[in-house]
Amino acid sequence: MLPCMMSGARIICLAYLILTLLPAGHDAASARKPVNFCLGCHGARPVTFHRQSGETRVIAIGMERLRQSEHGEVDCQQCHVRGFAFFPHPMEITETRTCLECHPREGGAAERDRAHDFDAIGAEFRDTAHHTSHPEAFRCESCHDPHAVKPPDGSMPIATLIETQNAICRECHVESAAEGPLAAPAEGGLPAVHAGLPHAALHLDGLRCIDCHAPADAAVSHRLGGRNGRPARCGDCHARETILNAKLLRHHPKDSSGGFAGFTNAGLLRHAYVFGATRSVVIDWLGYLAVGAVTLGLAAHGGLGLYFRQRPRRRRNVG
């Protein structure tokens, strides 16, 4: 029920709700789902709410991203469980479920959750430096937008994957990130912070932050600088057994295995040249033969020189 005393914002909100709940045509089923009830104020035409403090808030949900996300068919009230029947929502009485309160799920949806070890994820999450530093402010949704969350798959180009996932980190870790409890501004910009890294700008553009800042021994980890597990080091990527196959290219199995034209780590070569990982087997063997031939030549030259220097002495000694 709406409160009896209604401000202008409440009247506008009520009008949106009525229009949203009306059937769009001869079939009223489109207005049946509770999710439509919320999108009257938070959908394509979001309402601006004015608080007594003078603060204004607009919370709009990107409809296209929501429909394509894992939660596209989830009713809002399955997560927003208390205090959202009043408008504007009194924040002191609202309750929203956290990710790990629902996952892993039971029943028909349990099979989809089986691919993810949510118990291990929860333990890693609690161990991450973000959570230990900000136990109240840092939550799953700090990185995973619940209205747009969608696990990456092979359909997403690697460049798009890098840009999308790095954008999450850069909400808090760029020079201009000076607001919010999780803000950790990168003084002088990210290239300056990574000045000890050769070609820092290339690494920042061609890798995900988590490829280096998560433990190297796990394809997926939520520790992110936690107490256990070291982050990646140069040799973890710049080697024939590069961890990038298991991390960055894990959703592109064709790219993370095999080779072409005699090159190792073919998929990585399609994305970028990584010294030490992207190698031609033919050129490697030619290099080995060349080094071996030079070494053998030097050894033969030195041995023969030593042999002929010793011969005159032996003759003089005989005479």
CB 76 within 8 A of CB 35: yes
Structure tokens at 24: 């769009």
**Which pTM does this prediction carry?**
0.71
Task: Calculate the CA 124 to chain-centre distance.
Answer: 15
Mean pLDDT, the chain, whole residue set = 80
What pLDDT, on the 0 to 100 scale, is given for residue 239?
A: 92
Answer with the residue of higher pLDDT: 151 or 134: 134
User: Taking the domains of the chain in order of start, what are their residue ranges?
Assistant: 1-97, 115-232
Closest residue by Cα to residue 194 from 177, 176, 212: 212
What pLDDT, on the 0 to 100 scale, is given for residue 66?
A: 87
14, pLDDT greater than 90? no
Give the number of other CB atoms < 10 A from CB of residue 296: 10
CA distances from 264 to 187, 240, 254, 258, 268 (A): 38, 7, 13, 7, 9
What pLDDT, on the 0 to 100 scale, is given for residue 211?
A: 93
pLDDT, tens digit (0-9, with 9 covering 90-100), for 172-222: 998 888 777 888 888 888 999 999 889 999 999 999 999 999 888 888 888
What pLDDT, on the 0 to 100 scale, is given for residue 317?
A: 54
At 313, the pLDDT band (50, 70, 90 cuts) reads: low
pLDDT, tens digit (0-9, with 9 covering 90-100), for 42-90: 888 888 887 777 778 788 888 888 888 888 888 888 899 988 888 778 7
Answer with the residue of higher pLDDT: 134 or 258: 134
Torsion over CA of 258, 264, 267 and 271, rounded to 10 degrees? -170
Which residues are 231's β-sheet partners? Answer: 215
The interaxial angle of helices 34-42 and 8-21, nearest 10 deg, is 140
